[in-house]
Amino acid sequence: MEPLIGMGVLALMGAAATVAGASEDLESDVGSQSNPNSQVQLAPQMMYPHRIYNKAISGEPPSNALMCAIGGTTASVLMTAYSMSPLFAIAMGALFAAIVHGSYSISAFLGRPASQKRFKQPVYLDVLRSHTPVIMGYSYITTFCILVVSYLMIAVLGHPFPLPLLAFIWGITVGAIGSSTGDVHYGAEREFQNVEFGAGLNAANSGNIVRTAESGLRNGIDNSWFCAKFGGPVTGIAFGMTVFLSGWVTTVFNPAASLTMGWLSVVAGVILVLIMIIWNRKIEVAARAAFGPYKEDEVAA
């Protein structure tokens, strides 16, 4: 394969991954999955009932792995057994995955408040009806983009893994990156806008999440609106960079060409990781200098 085509495919994969990362984070924000979930779950117990969609499907990596594996499986079956075009098969796979994800979201939304009857958290059906299609929409975009990335890796870059397995692995990855990168924006900031910025979560504030919006009562779509400004895009960039850079080292230094090239790709990878570590450290120090200092008693709490 021409190196230039390889780079082009890699750029396309990076772009698809960026969209997947952003939509994955926003999908989890609409339903308060993962990081912010424990506080949304805790709030009614602390006498703070709310109108926020609480979607405890599982951690984000398994739930994204589920929808991507289902999408990859459906697409693979349609391509193998019915010789459908890849684009159509991927679209159908993503559709089926979104429907299954919607079913999982609904059962999680209904299950938890019903198991917390004593804390008097009502089940609001209008929240269910308005949020579930949004969640399904985002999960469609995520699955579609992950399947595009996986399909390009197999069809163009010649990756040996089959589509469902590769989609499964990328699903876990996008879930893990969304959980660690984007959710912090929602869990640490959006939920606790009523305390000083950077204060951390004092035990006394547990469950005391912000329940009122700019107008009326806050819901999950308000949260995704907020997170679309920073958390979603930053997750997209993180995931896009992961896909692009991890592919870039082996495209520029192709291990198939020679052993030396293989080692050079390892060295390039290590250099990239080192640059990232130093860069992250610089950002953290700069952020502490600009927004700190963090107070001693709050660290202890």
Matching residue, tokens 């912000």: 210
Quick check: 301 binds other proteins (CB under 8 A)?
Answer: no
d(CA 197, CA 82): 55
Of 7, 15, 84, 165, which one interacts with other proteins (CB under 8 A)?
A: 165
Quick check: 90 binds other proteins (CB under 8 A)?
Answer: no
Count of CB atoms situated within 10 Å of the CB of 274: 10
Quick check: 251 binds other proteins (CB under 8 A)?
Answer: no
- Which residue, 36 or 240, has its beta carbon nearer to other proteins? 36
- Which residue, 51 or 190, has its beta carbon nearer to other proteins? 51
In the complex, minimum distance from the CB of residue 118 to other proteins, in angstroms, rounded to a whole number: 6
Q: Which residues of 229-268 are buried (b: 16+ CB within 10 A; e: fewer)?
A: eebbbbbbbbbbbbbbbebbbbbebbeeeeeeeeebbeeb
Peptide bond into 293 cis (omega under 30): yes
Structure tokens, 138: 């985002």
Residue 188 is given by DSSP the state I
CB-based burial label for 129 (10 Å; 0-12, 13-18, 19+): exposed
Which residues inside 57-86 make contact with other proteins, applying CB under 8 A? 57-59, 62-63, 65-66, 69-70, 72-74, 76-77, 80-82
Quick check: 161 binds other proteins (CB under 8 A)?
Answer: yes
Window contacting other proteins (CB under 8 A); options: 41-49, 225-233, 253-261, 275-283: 41-49
Q: Which residues bind other proteins (CB under 8 A)?
A: 38, 41-42, 45, 47, 49-51, 56-59, 62-63, 65-66, 69-70, 72-74, 76-77, 80-82, 100, 103-104, 107-108, 110-126, 161-168, 211, 217
